[in-house]
C-alpha cells in the first residue's frame, strides 16, 4: 500500500473551521471508500485555544445534520510544513501566516486556500469565521466546508496537479 496523502487544515484558533474540515474530509473520504489513502489533521495559527474541544456552536450545527465530531485544538508548527503534503488555509490571513512560517518554495507550494476547492466560491477566497456571528452563519460555514472538502477530495482523486 502506498503512503497516505497527509492534509492539514488550518484556521485561526483550530476550534471552528479547521476541525470541522478535518473531520468532515475524513468522513467524506471514508464514505467514498478511499479513507485509507488520506491522513488528516487540523491546527490553528494562534495559541488561543490549545487543548480545547471544537466550538460547541459548530458541533451543534453539525449534529443537526447528523454529523458528530470532536478533537483537541493545537497550534501549527513549522515542522508541519514538512510533515504534510497539503496545508489548507481557511482564509488569506491564515494563508499569509503559513507562508511566513514556510522556509522553502516546496513548503509554500503546499499551501492552498480552502475555497479554491469550493465549486460555488464564485471568487470568494475565505471560509468566513462565524465566531462573533449567529446560528445562520455557522450553517453557512458548514455548507462551505462541506462543498470544499468534497471538491478537495474530487481534485485529489482526479490526480490534479493544482487547484482550479
Among residues 69, 91, 84, the alpha carbon closest in space to that of 23 is found at: 69
Residue in this structure with the C-alpha cell 466546508, named with its chain if needed: 145
Q: Is 137 one of the annotated active-site residues of the chain? A: no
Q: Is 150 one of the annotated active-site residues of the chain? A: no
Q: Are 129 and 44 in contact (CB under 8 A)?
A: no
Candidate list 118, 129, 146, 150, residue with the active-site label: 129
Candidate list 11, 41, 59, 146, residue with the active-site label: 11
Per-residue DSSP letters for the chain? -PPPEEEEEEESSSSSHHHHHHHHHHHHHHHTT-GGGEEEEEEESSSTTTTPPPPHHHHHHHHHTT--------B--TTHHHH-SEEEESSHHHHHHHHHH--SHHHHHTEEEGGGG-TT-TT-------TTS-HHHHHHHHHHHHHHHHHHHHHHHHT-SS--
Q: Is 17 one of the annotated active-site residues of the chain? A: yes
Query: Would you name the residues annotated as active-site residues?
Result: 11, 17, 129
Amino acid at each position: 500500500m502506498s503512503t497516505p496523502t497527509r492534509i492539514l487544515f488550518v484556521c485561526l484558533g483550530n476550534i471552528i473551521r479547521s476541525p470541522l474540515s478535518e473531520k468532515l474530509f475524513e468522513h467524506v473520504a471514508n464514505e467514498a471508500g478511499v479513507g485509507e489513502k488520506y491522513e488528516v489533521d487540523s491546527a490553528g495559527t494562534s495559541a488561543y485555544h490549545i487543548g480545547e474541544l471544537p466550538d460547541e456552536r459548530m458541533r451543534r450545527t453539525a449534529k443537526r445534520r447528523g454529523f458528530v465530531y470532536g478533537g483537541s485544538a493545537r497550534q501549527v508548527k513549522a515542522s508541519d510544513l514538512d510533515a504534510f503534503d497539503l496545508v489548507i488555509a481557511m482564509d488569506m490571513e491564515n494563508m499569509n501566516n503559513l507562508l511566513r512560517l514556510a522556509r522553502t518554495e516546496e513548503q509554500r507550494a503546499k499551501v492552498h486556500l480552502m475555497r479554491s476547492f469550493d465549486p460555488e466560491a464564485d471568487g470568494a477566497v475565505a471560509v468566513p469565521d462565524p465566531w462573533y456571528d449567529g446560528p445562520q452563519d455557522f450553517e453557512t460555514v458548514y455548507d462551505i466546508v462541506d462543498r470544499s472538502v468534497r471538491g478537495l477530495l474530487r481534485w485529489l482523486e482526479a490526480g490534479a496537479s493544482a487547484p482550479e
